[in-house]
């Protein structure tokens, strides 16, 4: 018996997908990205299954499960250490119309691990299996089987791939995305893609798709990693910052285009969230949009003092007016 792949079985390999990033890949960010280049699959930010199981928590967290039809296929990522809560949350996610469910078993956040969730799952393989089973049961209880996937790491404090991965494979998830570092590594060491290749070898014949994640610069780099490791897909994360063109391999972007994309992102953020999310969250993106051209630092400093989309738009319009030659001269830039 092979894993249920659902929509994954209908897509062409290799898959190039966008990583779930906390406080980044919300409904606004994803909608903004697909205006410029669309990943094969999108993930939500990770959402607490425990919180979704309580009326007050659900009311607050349901916002993080917003999505648009244009984003499909769209996967909801959940975390918990309680199978019964995973079951209930998976049922809700299925009823909301998501195409798949992903379980976070790699987040190193201390608050998440203190709950026994995220990267802490790697210390309890039996619980990890139960969470996969529970997610599957929850989707079936809603009347539709969704493919269940897992995002994890090489191990907790040490690389235990040879022991950890087979345990996950026993539960027959559709996809396992492997961030090629341990929890202890965080992002302090280079991702070990040779271990992703080893994961492909371990999973051979299982029917489970293996994705690699970590330090991928762009689609050209992702394609090279597919050739080197035999992986079924590559998940790109931090490379998306300031670069909504990431999934268009042939992009050439002007300074003007990049700055106008920052304006559009800001407008969409403000229109969608209004006063339900702090405008300060938007400012982390300016660090990524506003770089690789002269006077970028000065422009960033100005934008960091803004409190509205209109302020941002006025400052960027003035900058483009004052530096028209710069935008023309640097018609292609590193992004």
Contact 38, 120 (CB under 8 A): no
pLDDT at position 208: 98
- Which residues are CB-neighbours of 329 under 8 A, at least 6 positions away? none
Task: Give the confidence band of 251 by pLDDT, cuts at 50, 70, 90.
Answer: confident
In 10 A of CB 272, how many CB atoms? 16
Residue 334 above 60 pLDDT? Answer: no
More confident residue, 168 or 22: 168
The 175-179 sheet, strands edge to edge: 15-18, 233-236, 209-213, 175-179, 148-153, 100-105, 74-79, 42-48
State the average pLDDT over residues 293-303.
93
Burial of residue 277 (number of CB atoms within 10 Å: 0-12, 13-18, 19+) = middle
Q: Which two tokens stand for residue 8?
A: 């994954």
State the average pLDDT over residues 242-267.
91
pLDDT at position 245: 95
User: What's 175's DSSP letter?
Assistant: E
Task: Give the confidence band of 327 by pLDDT, cuts at 50, 70, 90.
Answer: low
Q: Which two tokens stand for residue 121?
A: 């799952």
Task: Give the confidence band of 2 by pLDDT, cuts at 50, 70, 90.
Answer: very high
User: What's 276's DSSP letter?
Assistant: S
The tens digit of pLDDT for each residue in 212-231 reads 999 999 999 999 999 999 99
Task: Give the confidence band of 292 by pLDDT, cuts at 50, 70, 90.
Answer: confident
**Nearest in space to 90 (alpha carbons), one of 80, 74, 101, 106:** 101
The tens digit of pLDDT for each residue in 85-115 reads 999 999 999 999 999 999 999 999 999 999 9
More confident residue, 308 or 188: 308
CA quadruple 18, 145, 84, 213: dihedral, nearest 10: -20
**Nearest in space to 231 (alpha carbons), one of 246, 249, 209, 214:** 209
pLDDT at position 332: 44
Residue 333 above 50 pLDDT? Answer: no
Where are the domains positioned within the chain? 6-240, 255-329
Contact 307, 279 (CB under 8 A): yes
CA dihedral (238, 268, 55, 93) positive or negative: negative
pLDDT at position 326: 73
State the average pLDDT over residues 270-283.
92
The tens digit of pLDDT for each residue in 57-75 reads 788 889 899 999 999 999 9
Rounded Cα gap, residues 179 and 187, in angstroms: 10
CA quadruple 20, 22, 25, 26: dihedral, nearest 10: 130
The tens digit of pLDDT for each residue in 162-184 reads 999 999 999 999 999 999 999 99
Pick the catalytic residue from 53, 107, 121, 306. 107
Please state, rounded to an integer, the average pLDDT across all residues of the chain.
Answer: 94
pLDDT at position 252: 79
Overall pTM > 0.85: yes
Q: How far is CA 280 from the centre of its chain?
A: 21
pLDDT at position 214: 97
Q: Mark whether 107 is an active-site residue.
A: yes
Task: Give the confidence band of 13 by pLDDT, cuts at 50, 70, 90.
Answer: very high
CATH of domain 6-240: 3.20.20.70
State the average pLDDT over residues 26-53.
96
Residue 274 above 50 pLDDT? Answer: yes
Task: Give the confidence band of 325 by pLDDT, cuts at 50, 70, 90.
Answer: confident
Residue 243 above 80 pLDDT? Answer: yes
More confident residue, 77 or 59: 77
């Amino acid at each position: 018996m092979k894993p249920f792949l659902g929509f994954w079985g209908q897509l062409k390999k290799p898959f190039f997908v966008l990583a779930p990033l906390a406080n980044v890949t919300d409904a606004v960010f994803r909608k903004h990205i697909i205006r410029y280049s669309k990943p094969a699959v999108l993930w939500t930010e990770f959402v607490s299954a425990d919180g979704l199981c309580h009326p007050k928590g659900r009311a607050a967290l349901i916002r993080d499960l917003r999505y648009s039809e244009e984003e499909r296929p769209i996967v909801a990522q959940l975390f918990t250490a309680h199978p019964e809560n995973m079951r209930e949350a998976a049922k809700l996610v299925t009823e909301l119309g998501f195409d798949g469910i992903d379980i976070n078993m790699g987040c190193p956040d201390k608050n998440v691990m203190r709950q026994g969730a995220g990267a802490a799952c790697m210390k309890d393989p039996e619980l990890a299996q139960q969470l996969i089973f529970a997610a599957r049961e929850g989707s079936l209880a809603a009347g539709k089987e969704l493919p269940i996937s897992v995002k994890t790491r090489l191990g907790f404090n040490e690389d235990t791939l040879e022991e950890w991965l087979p345990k996950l494979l026993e539960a027959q998830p559709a996809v396992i995305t492997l961030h090629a570092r341990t929890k202890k590594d965080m992002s302090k060491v280079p991702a070990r893609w040779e271990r992703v290749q080893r994961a492909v070898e371990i999973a051979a014949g299982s029917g489970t798709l293996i994705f690699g994640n970590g330090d991928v610069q762009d689609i050209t780099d992702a394609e090279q990693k597919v050739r080197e490791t035999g992986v079924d897909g590559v998940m790109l994360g931090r490379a998306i910052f300031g670069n909504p063109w990431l999934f268009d391999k042939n992009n050439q972007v002007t300074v003007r285009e990049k700055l106008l994309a920052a304006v559009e992102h800001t407008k969409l953020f403000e229109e969608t969230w209004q006063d339900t999310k702090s405008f300060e969250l938007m400012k982390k993106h300016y660090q990524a949009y506003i770089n690789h051209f002269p006077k970028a630092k000065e422009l960033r400093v100005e934008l960091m003092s803004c409190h509205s989309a209109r302020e941002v738009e006025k400052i960027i319009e003035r900058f483009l007016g004052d530096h028209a030659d710069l935008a023309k001269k640097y018609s292609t830039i590193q992004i």
